[in-house]
């Protein structure tokens, strides 16, 4: 038996291939199927099964593609109401592949239809738990994503209660030496205190994970519900797409409309400009939103742009454009790209430079807007009296910003403020909008460790 983990840094998403006797089962595969095909080919094996622990909110899975191309059986809980061909995989169900056996545990809490998969080795010993978004390293999955999306909806309190019972009745009885392989790591929005570690054991989680401590139901629920991160606009869209099954990856990418370099974009179109900051400041389409091609591009794209919107994607090279389209596809947003173009015509709007010394001399002369999260703003304040509007809410709330003074946008390191200042500049025509950018780092108090 061989277990291979695939890790997508951008979405902090872990997926798995389990190999036994020339057969491969995948758990929670990402959108691009190629790396799994490569693994199967290198192992001289065939992908025969795909297990979905639940309909994911933060990425689009390729499960349907493996069924159509390889004839792989998709195993998923009957509760999902999956619209693709599948075999129900619920509490007590199991199947054998080669010398290993997969057992389903119903582990609701992150979603009502979540399962975890217990892998037994060739002698029938419990070997590993593929815990989906139920158990993370150091935390458990957030319970507030299924109030409006999916076949089964549930209130966050109800799911938090389910998670308590999942931990007590399903996870705590497991043996200490069982390996734990979760679907996400640090940086994912599917939980709040995820570790950087990529795998663990039940024993280690018993000793270190707050959810395993001796808490009563109410204390557990209160802890779980408190301080969860925001819910991006795209999450419900991905739950629904995963329930239906996504279109084939390469075919969908090939349908994205690539416009000739220097094309003129329609007036008033929603434009996502992913070029570097210095290029954007030199000139951009008026009203363009500046989401730089960075480590979290896809998350911010799906947090700022809603799934009901169509947009144009701007880059400074064809190679960069290709990368951005594949990142958009991870969350199913390649279908929203109206046109992708290198350096379009009409980039006449210039960014304004920010004079840090002038700000230091007279900070009262500016309206300071902190676009970090509410928790960041509350727990690590930088400027007294700053207005806190988190980046993902800016398009809807920019008009709340007073414009009598120059408006100065800041985040924690400069990446988010590039997007934020572009949104505010587009929304408030008459205002002078400035981006604090990376200069903000000099104003923050170092955190003592």
DSSP class per residue in 382-437: -STT-EE--GGGHHHHGGGS--SS-EEEE-SSSHHHHHHHHHHHHH-TTS-EEE-G
Among 133, 117, 132, CA closest to 178? 117
Check residue 210 and give left, alpha or beta (phi > 0: left; psi -120 to 50: alpha). Answer: alpha
List Cα–Cα distances, 360 to 355, 356, 372, in angstroms: 9, 6, 21
Q: Is the dihedral of CA 162, 168, 173, 178 positive or negative?
A: positive
SS3 of residue 230 by DSSP: coil
Integer CA distances (angstroms), 362 to 92, 209, 358, in order? 67, 47, 6
DSSP strand pairing (100-106 vs 115-120):
antiparallel
DSSP 109: S
Compute CA 136 distance to the chain's CA centroid, rounded to the nearest angstrom. 15
Query: Residues 133, 163: contact at Cβ < 8 Å?
Result: no
Write down the residue that tokens 């990446």 correspond to. 415
Q: What is the pLDDT of residue 242?
A: 97
pLDDT by residue for the chain (449 residues), tens only, comes to 999 999 999 999 999 999 999 999 999 999 999 999 999 999 999 999 999 999 999 999 999 999 999 999 999 999 999 999 999 999 999 999 999 999 999 999 999 999 999 999 999 999 999 999 999 999 999 998 877 766 666 688 999 999 999 999 999 999 999 999 999 987 777 776 677 778 999 999 999 999 999 999 999 999 999 988 888 999 999 999 999 999 999 999 999 999 999 999 999 999 999 999 999 999 999 999 999 998 899 999 999 999 999 999 999 999 999 999 999 999 999 999 999 999 999 999 998 878 999 999 999 999 999 999 998 999 999 999 999 999 999 999 999 999 999 999 999 998 999 999 999 999 998 899 999 999 999 887 654 43
**In whole angstroms, what is the distance from residue 94 CA to residue 104 CA?**
6
C-beta of residue 45 within 8 angstroms of C-beta of residue 23: yes
Task: Give 86-139 pLDDT, tens digit per residue.
Answer: 999 999 999 999 999 999 999 999 999 999 999 999 999 999 999 999 999 999
Phi, psi of 168 (to 5 degrees): -65, -45
Q: Are 179 and 199 in contact (CB under 8 A)?
A: yes
Q: Is the pTM of this model over 0.85?
A: yes
Dist CA 98 CA 23 (whole Å): 7
Q: CA 337, CA 341: separation in Å to the nearest integer?
A: 10
pLDDT on residue 387: 96
Strands (E), 77-230: 87-88, 94-97, 100-106, 115-120, 126-132, 135-136, 139-140, 179-182, 200-201
């Amino acid at each position: 038996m061989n277990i291979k983990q695939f890790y997508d840094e951008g979405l902090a998403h872990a997926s798995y291939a389990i190999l036994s006797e020339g057969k491969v089962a995948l758990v929670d595969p990402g959108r691009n199927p190629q790396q799994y095909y490569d693994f199967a080919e290198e192992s001289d094996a065939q992908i025969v099964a795909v297990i979905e622990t639940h309909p994911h909110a933060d990425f689009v899975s390729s499960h349907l593609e493996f069924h159509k191309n390889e004839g792989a059986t998709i195993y998923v809980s009957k509760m999902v109401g999956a619209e693709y061909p599948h075999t129900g995989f619920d509490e007590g169900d199991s199947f054998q592949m080669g010398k290993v056996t997969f057992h389903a545990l119903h582990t609701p809490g992150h979603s009502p239809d979540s399962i975890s998969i217990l892998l037994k080795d060739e002698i029938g010993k419990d070997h590993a738990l593929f815990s989906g978004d139920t158990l993370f390293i150091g935390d458990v999955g957030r319970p507030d994503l299924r109030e409006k999306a999916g076949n089964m909806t549930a209130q966050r309190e109800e799911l938090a209660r389910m998670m308590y019972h999942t931990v007590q009745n399903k996870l705590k009885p497991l043996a200490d030496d069982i390996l734990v392989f979760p679907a996400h790591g640090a940086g994912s929005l599917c939980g709040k205190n995820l570790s950087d570690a990529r795998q663990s054991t039940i024993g280690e989680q018993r000793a270190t994970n707050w959810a395993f401590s001796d808490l009563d139901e109410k204390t557990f629920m209160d802890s779980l519900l408190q301080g969860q991160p925001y819910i991006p606009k795209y999450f419900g869209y991905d739950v629904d797409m995963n329930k239906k099954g996504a279109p084939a990856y390469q075919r969908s990418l090939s349908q994205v409309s690539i416009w000739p370099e220097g094309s003129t974009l329609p007036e008033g179109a929603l434009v996502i400009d992913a070029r570097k900051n210095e290029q954007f400041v030199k000139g951009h389409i008026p009203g363009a939103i500046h989401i730089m091609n960075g480590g979290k591009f896809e998350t911010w794209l799906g947090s700022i742009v809603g799934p009901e919107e169509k947009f144009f994607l701007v880059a400074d090279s064809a190679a960069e454009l290709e990368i951005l389209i594949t990142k958009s596809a991870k969350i199913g947003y390649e279908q929203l790209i109206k046109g992708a173009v290198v350096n379009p015509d009409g980039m006449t709007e210039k960014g304004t430079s920010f004079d840090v010394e002038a700000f230091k001399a007279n900070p009262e002369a500016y309206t300071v807007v902190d676009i970090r999260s509410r928790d960041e703003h509350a727990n690590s304040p930088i400027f007294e009296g700053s207005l806190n509007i988190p980046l993902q809410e800016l398009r809807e709330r920019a008009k709340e910003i007073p414009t009598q003074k120059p408006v100065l946008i800041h985040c924690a390191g400069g990446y988010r403020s590039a997007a934020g200042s572009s949104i505010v500049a587009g929304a408030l025509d008459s205002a002078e909008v400035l981006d604090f950018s990376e200069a903000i780092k000099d104003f923050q108090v170092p955190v003592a460790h």
